[in-house]
Structure 1
Amino acid sequence: MLIKADRQDHILTLTLNDPARRNAMGNAMREELVAAMTDAAQDPQVRVVLLRGAQGSFCAGGDLTAMPPEDPATAARRLRDVGDMIRLLAGFPVPTIAVVEGAAAGMGAGLALACDYVLMAADARLLFPFTRLGLIPDGGLLATLAQRAGTSRARRILLEADVLDADACLAAGLADAVHPAADLPAAALAQAEILAGQAPLAVAALKAVLASGTPTLEAALEAEAEHQPKLFFTADFAEGKAAFRERRSPGFTGH
């Protein structure tokens, strides 16, 4: 089993589980991850997904032992499959949190930056080795890195094949928080519990709008006009309004 799934209440943890290879992303692991995410997207009990790697390493990137593929056509199919995985993660209907320990290299960095939140251990790092290998960045990094760090900084990071420690990632906007390694699991769970308490339908709508990046003003206004009239008439809005008036925490049901 290359992906371990563990759900506690509304929080699902998906663990990349090939520690002997530092959780490198091969075809089999990718297929298992896509299957697990597809199941989770259809499970109304799941409100947050934590993505992490087994035994203190997030993901060593793509499986170099399987590169190059047999021929260009096979390579093209593989990249389309990778693209589908990143689209699924970036457009996921509930919040996703990358819990980065050790190294997130290449494709591993792509997985992390496709998540909504990136929490890093103080000794963790992101690696972008593509130009040193003679490859273009993949895993959506040409978009997600620029969205987080800005185009000029992303260009420099990718051209220079940078290795960024946790503090540098935090300064560049690639990490949302950095914690001592021993404290990271508890910090990730605490963040997940906060997100799990938000209104599921509103979260899903918000994520759908932002899945392709920052919308234009016109696109944002159109999205508001599409989603907000429906949300006004949900049980969750009634509950949120009542909780606000009664000065208590809401209990959302996703209806």
Structure 2
Amino acid sequence: MLDIASAIFVKNGLVMSFAIVGITMYFSYFLSKNLTKGRIHGSAIAIIFGLILAYIGGIVTGGDKGISDIAMFSGMGLLGGSMLRDFAITATAFGADFDEIKKAGLPGILSLFIGVILSFIIGAIVALAFGYSDAASVATIGAGAVTFIVGPVTGAAVGASSEVIALSIAAGVVKSILVMVGTPFVAKFVGLNNPRSAMVFGGLMGTTSGVSAGLAATDPKLVPYGAMTATFFTGLGCLLAPSVLFLVTKAILG
């Protein structure tokens, strides 16, 4: 029976991955309602479960793709891959009201530039604190703190080593996780309850996956607005980090 079940999982990997995610979400929302009385949103609990499963998968197989390294859960690799991620990001944009987007106006634009530059500076300071002193490495890690996409783009452009590029990706992933889990907790304190504030939040935080998941855990209606500016954030980061911000870093460090 176990062999039959394993074969079904392997041959229908994507379908089974949807089932696993569905069960995880149901259990997470059950815990949120009955264990935390709604104080911790079900989405945040599900994210934590996902990280635990990824860690277990990496430990068991010694691989680098988390739970999808186990053959019977290989469908998780496609479900969590870039294709469906980008599809989901594009789909959320269709839920945005253009009139609300126009209302963001100058604050929304400023939030993009402030978010990119501030994230870059924080990442660069962390890089310096850990002993990196050359402009390419500092700029690449700083760009990774912008998003885990901007980091490798910048590293490839300025000639950073593969190890530094890997660190930049790790910095972006950590930021994304923190935004995912932390957004529901800070939403009330920062007034994250309307489309305009969601757009500003997306512009400041930038990580599309983190902002989308965090807003979904706060108020699903806000997701399209935060995802919209967060998507622009990545594009702006890819434009500024390898050029202007790298040149400024090089001028400072020599």
Q: By the TM > 0.5 criterion, same fold? A: no
Q: What TM-score do the two structures reach when normalised by structure 2?
A: 0.28
Higher helix share: 2
Q: What TM-score do the two structures reach when normalised by structure 1?
A: 0.28
Higher strand share: 1
